[in-house]
Structure 1
Amino acid sequence: MPKVQAGLTADGAGLAGDRVVAVGSTARVLVAAAARALRGADCADVGQPTALSRFTPAPESVRRAAAARAAGRVALTPAQTAEVDAERVARWIVDQYPRRRYPGVVLGSPHASAVHLAVALGVPWLPAAFEMAVHWTHGSVDRPRAALDHGAGLAAGLVAANPGLHVRQVHCPASRGAVAGQTVSLTARWRTLPLAYARFLADRLEPGASLLLVRDGRSWPVLDPGQGHSFQLGCPASGLDPVDFHPDSHALRQLLRAVGGDRALWEPPEVSAAGEQSEQGVEEGFETVARQWAQPRGHALHQVFFPQPAALSAATADLYRRWLRRAGKTGDRLVVECGRLLDPWQVVRAGLVPYWCENATRRSVEGAEWWLAGSEPFSSVDVLPESPGLRSPALAGLPQWLAVAAFGRRRRALDRTAARGYPVSPVPTRRATEVLRCQPYDLPTPPPLAFADALDGLREAGAPLGLTLS
């Protein structure tokens, strides 16, 4: 059996995990939300009001400059990347969870429905990767080749100090806006089970507990020279397709105009593989070592593959509805969350059914509409649209979000605060908490969902959507 990869940096050295993991990254927010829910707390302290909100009426160029300054204040310097210790990051993640025994754990790709599932099961959620943002001095949003050159040097140092990582660099103006010209985004994926995770599982899992590995099955063209660093131009979360990042694309022309770029400078690198897993995927080695760790200790490892985020969102929402009704609740009130606007504890406290949109793109919102159209009607629908902070040709307009809320039979609510500055003025995660605290209590909370029931429910609801379990 391969050994679990231990960090090469001296114990306690390097940057603290909360300094390394990108502020506002999906995995960071999801860990915070899951850990609070397991302590019986909400997300009222997650995310502070953004200073960018005061720039909502300002010209586009002023907003871009303000976003760049804000990103620069929290990004790592290139020199600091040499101090990154992936094992210390893993310890920071597991240390956020209450110290007690758990009947299982959910691991893998960042998806809020995986966190909702973990909270219903009463178990932690552990990401298989973490994101970093690093300064790119003299960078430019319209120069992907220069971004690749800068990121390759950073990744080489990261992988040399942390050989258990694969670093996926993502240059995506559609999802990051003008900030993509000020910082580079590096997603560090564990190629094996971190030692801190293995110790956490050994110390905290009950005998016979199950591991559930959730895997994002989306693919994207990448350049992978085989040095532990790969480069990805654009991403599925942008709401665009790979062809939209071609120099002749009309969508690219619109996008670069919105973020202050010049299409004439856009020279994308060649790709080496057209169907590699996207940055949200899970490394094969992570799954292999997790299974090799679990089996001799009497723990079963199950995998859930989803072809699109909407498939897991829909299956988990259906599972929550069944779980609530078995506990004597109506299961007729829905909250449609988006991006970082979520609060798993308040969802359980109020007896709500959660459906998560990965972001505010038309594609993501259409997934919610199709699922609602085929579901038993809900008496109330609350919608929390996350403002991405930029304009993009792929974004859903407020009328489309209103159409989602219109599926409610009695209550149809689109959060006005989130909608007021949409799509250029983001609101913090705690805005979801403020909205959900106004929902009536539906106590007591249901008893924890059993792993067998969760697997059966996901299999039944997810099969028509392409979701597979193994």
Structure 2
Amino acid sequence: MHAVRKGLTADGAGLAGDRVVAAGSAARILVAATARALRGEDCADLGHVGPLSRFVGAPEPVRRAAATRAAGRVALTAGQTAEVDADRVARWFTDQYPRRRWPGLLLGSPHGAAAHLAVALGVPWLPAGFEMTAHWAGGSVDRPRAALDHGAALTARLLAANPDLHVRQVHCPASRGALAGATVSLAARWLTLPAAYRRFLADRLEPGAPVLLLSDARTWPVLDSAPGHSFQVGCPASGLDPVDFHPDSHNLRQVLRAAGGDDTPWEPPEVGAPPGYAEHGVESGFDHHVREWTGRHGHPLHRIHVPWPEALSAAIADLYRRWLRAAGKTGDRLVVECGRLLDPWQVVRAGMVPYWCENATRRSVEGVEWWLAGSEPFSSVDVLPEPPGMRSPALAGLPQWLAVAGFGHRRRALDRASARGYPVSSVPTRRATEVLRAQPYDLPTPKPLAVPEALAGLREGGAAQGLLVC
């Protein structure tokens, strides 16, 4: 377990947010990166070298065993799930930001480009939920029904103390590999604004400051297991489609084999209802409560609905380019980030345009390729592919990442440390900081972007890709 930074642990009994929120999860990384950027700091202290870095050349079973042991050390026990206090988690998020009045707030679904938008606006970013992992003794990647039963028991303990949550359990060997058989993944989403968020809005926003609510609109087949608990097999971030998790799928057989599955028949629970929002969607109650609070307190609310991550990444990259050029910079140097490999402060310090890939799947990389093909050329392109630590039929190969770097006219750089051992190695977040620190300074940094200008840019750049800004 990592040491808890002073001032970030919730007061009183129970588990601190640092212990509850899954290490390496999107919400955790993005809050940390955004808070550091708003303090004028980079992400050099984020992340640690994972266990897989020592086993790049080892056989698959050895790597899987190392990964599951590491996951087990930080996963919650059944007893600890009953000690989770979701409002303490919310307070842990808000307490990471400097105590001052802010000119606005961005909250909602986790997305790396949203962190870049928040930094350009000079405002905090807060998630509408958080992820947890819990032990699953005797689990197996190829037993989704057993995963559902185990997750339902854990969720009942969790909801008994946190009725303001909805818990989406995700069983996805394609995105989690062997970890899907050793732990269960629980994505908790607030049904209303937690008390810590309400205090943050009331005490730390300037009068009339706008609030932006970002919603991931991707859908996926979902089983409503019990009140407050839903279950999905697979996820959009896997780079696969729902049909790929059918028992007869060739892709599924490849995934299970790579994750250490055996010959147990794959029998997912039957899902009869129409697809619902995937695990990173925003609960309707949360949306309603934000709308109600902002209307009552005189804060304009703007919603951004994201049909797929690439749409927001492209729109914000275009927005950054215009913002940089308005400040007298070239806007011709691009950094393609991936997953946890991002550093918003170093991007602004270097005067670079950021494009964020959700992960290393072919689908994500094809998104940046299409955007680059239709964009004004960049003089330099730096690429930071995050190795997922596992193999999957949906992953992009290094040649595809190299093709992205090839769009640079003068400089074409694929980070060697990230490429070494790809895709089965692991690289800490601070690797992005190390790469970006080597970029030449382009100071002074631009003045913060105005919210109306940002919204107009998102409408203009995102409309063709289905981005809805209202």
TM-score bin (small chain): over 0.9
Which whole-Å deviations, capped at 9, do the CAs of 1:394-444 have from their partners, x for residues lacking one? 000000000000000000000000000100001000000000000000000
Give the alignment of 1:338-417 within 5 angstroms: 338-417=338-417
Q: What is the alpha-carbon distance in structure 2 between the residues aligned to residue 255 and residue 81 of structure 1?
A: 29
Check the 8 A contact 1:362/1:395 in 2, yes or no. yes
Check the 8 A contact 1:253/1:263 in 2, yes or no. no
Q: What is the alpha-carbon distance in structure 2 between the residues aligned to residue 440 and residue 54 of structure 1?
A: 32
Alignment partner, residue 97 of structure 2 = 97
CA drift at 1:453: 0.3
TM-score under structure 2 length normalisation: 0.97
Give, as a single letter, the amino acid of the residue that structure 1 aligns with 2:365: V
Q: Give secondary structure in 2 for the equivalent of 1:142.
A: coil
Q: What is the alpha-carbon distance in structure 2 between the residues aligned to residue 11 and residue 429 of structure 1?
A: 28
CA drift at 1:468: 0.4
CA drift at 1:226: 4.2
CA drift at 1:311: 0.0
Check the 8 A contact 1:304/1:469 in 2, yes or no. yes
CA drift at 1:217: 0.6
Give, as a single letter, the amino acid of the residue that structure 2 aligns with 1:233: V
Check the 8 A contact 2:336/2:384 in 1, yes or no. yes
Q: Give secondary structure in 2 for the equivalent of 1:155.
A: helix
Alignment partner, residue 187 of structure 1 = 187
Q: Give secondary structure in 2 for the equivalent of 1:268.
A: coil
Check the 8 A contact 2:386/2:426 in 1, yes or no. yes
Q: What is the alpha-carbon distance in structure 2 between the residues aligned to residue 196 and residue 395 of structure 1?
A: 39
Q: Give secondary structure in 2 for the equivalent of 1:360.
A: coil
Give, as a single letter, the amino acid of the residue that structure 1 aligns with 2:141: V
Q: Does 1:325 align with 2:333?
A: no
Aligned CA RMSD, in angstroms, stands at 0.9
CA drift at 1:12: 2.3
Check the 8 A contact 1:256/1:263 in 2, yes or no. no
Check the 8 A contact 2:171/2:234 in 1, yes or no. yes
Alignment partner, residue 453 of structure 1 = 453
TM-score under structure 1 length normalisation: 0.97
Give the alignment of 1:85-124 within 5 angstroms: 85-124=85-124
Alignment partner, residue 295 of structure 2 = 295
CA drift at 1:306: 1.0
Q: What is the alpha-carbon distance in structure 2 between the residues aligned to residue 421 and residue 32 of structure 1?
A: 27
Check the 8 A contact 1:133/1:183 in 2, yes or no. yes
Check the 8 A contact 2:47/2:430 in 1, yes or no. yes
Q: What is the alpha-carbon distance in structure 2 between the residues aligned to residue 263 and residue 373 of structure 1?
A: 44
Q: Give secondary structure in 2 for the equivalent of 1:103.
A: coil
Alignment partner, residue 3 of structure 2 = none
Give, as a single letter, the amino acid of the residue that structure 2 aligns with 1:338: C
Give, as a single letter, the amino acid of the residue that structure 2 aligns with 1:63: R
Q: What is the alpha-carbon distance in structure 2 between the residues aligned to residue 457 and residue 273 of structure 1?
A: 37
Aligned length: 461
Check the 8 A contact 1:239/1:361 in 2, yes or no. yes
Alignment partner, residue 197 of structure 2 = 197
CA drift at 1:272: 3.6
Alignment partner, residue 427 of structure 1 = 427
Q: What is the alpha-carbon distance in structure 1 between the residues aligned to residue 404 and residue 439 of structure 2?
A: 19
Which whole-Å deviations, capped at 9, do the CAs of 1:283-327 have from their partners, x for residues lacking one? 011110011111121101100001110000000000000000000
Q: What is the alpha-carbon distance in structure 2 between the residues aligned to residue 150 and residue 227 of structure 1?
A: 16
Which whole-Å deviations, capped at 9, do the CAs of 1:123-176 have from their partners, x for residues lacking one? 000000100000001111110000000000111111121010000000000000
CA drift at 1:225: 3.4
Q: What is the alpha-carbon distance in structure 2 between the residues aligned to residue 124 and residue 224 of structure 1?
A: 33
Q: What is the alpha-carbon distance in structure 1 between the residues aligned to residue 96 and residue 201 of structure 2?
A: 14
Q: What is the alpha-carbon distance in structure 1 between the residues aligned to residue 272 and residue 157 of structure 2?
A: 22
Give the alignment of 1:164-175 within 5 angstroms: 164-175=164-175
Alignment partner, residue 18 of structure 2 = 18
Check the 8 A contact 1:12/1:88 in 2, yes or no. no
CA drift at 1:273: 2.3
Give the alignment of 1:112-261 within 5 angstroms: 112-261=112-261
Check the 8 A contact 2:51/2:67 in 1, yes or no. no
Check the 8 A contact 1:244/1:251 in 2, yes or no. yes
Which whole-Å deviations, capped at 9, do the CAs of 1:177-227 have from their partners, x for residues lacking one? 001000000000000000000001111100110000011010000100341
Q: Does 1:40 align with 2:19?
A: no
Give, as a single letter, the amino acid of the residue that structure 2 aligns with 1:98: P
Alignment partner, residue 49 of structure 1 = 49
Q: What is the alpha-carbon distance in structure 2 between the residues aligned to residue 226 and residue 62 of structure 1?
A: 37
Q: What is the alpha-carbon distance in structure 1 between the residues aligned to residue 273 and residue 109 of structure 2?
A: 21
Q: What is the alpha-carbon distance in structure 2 between the residues aligned to residue 435 and residue 257 of structure 1?
A: 35
CA drift at 1:263: 4.8
Give, as a single letter, the amino acid of the residue that structure 1 aligns with 2:237: A
Q: Give secondary structure in 2 for the equivalent of 1:167.
A: strand
Alignment partner, residue 440 of structure 2 = 440
Alignment partner, residue 5 of structure 1 = none
CA drift at 1:11: 6.7
Q: What is the alpha-carbon distance in structure 2 between the residues aligned to residue 442 and residue 284 of structure 1?
A: 42
Distance 1:190 1:267, change over 3 A: same
Q: What is the alpha-carbon distance in structure 2 between the residues aligned to residue 240 and residue 346 of structure 1?
A: 32
Check the 8 A contact 1:333/1:353 in 2, yes or no. yes
Q: What is the alpha-carbon distance in structure 2 between the residues aligned to residue 263 and residue 166 of structure 1?
A: 33
Check the 8 A contact 1:144/1:266 in 2, yes or no. yes
Q: Give secondary structure in 1 for the equivalent of 2:145.
A: helix
Identity of aligned residues (%): 77
Give, as a single letter, the amino acid of the residue that structure 2 aligns with 1:293: W
Check the 8 A contact 2:174/2:234 in 1, yes or no. yes
Give, as a single letter, the amino acid of the residue that structure 2 aligns with 1:309: P
Q: What is the alpha-carbon distance in structure 2 between the residues aligned to residue 58 and residue 298 of structure 1?
A: 59
Q: What is the alpha-carbon distance in structure 2 between the residues aligned to residue 34 and residue 169 of structure 1?
A: 27
Check the 8 A contact 1:224/1:272 in 2, yes or no. no
Q: Give secondary structure in 1 for the equivalent of 2:185.
A: strand
Q: Give secondary structure in 2 for the equivalent of 1:274.
A: coil
Q: Give secondary structure in 1 for the equivalent of 2:302.
A: strand
Q: Give secondary structure in 2 for the equivalent of 1:328.
A: coil
Give, as a single letter, the amino acid of the residue that structure 1 aligns with 2:260: G
Q: What is the alpha-carbon distance in structure 2 between the residues aligned to residue 131 and residue 39 of structure 1?
A: 25
Q: Give secondary structure in 1 for the equivalent of 2:449.
A: coil
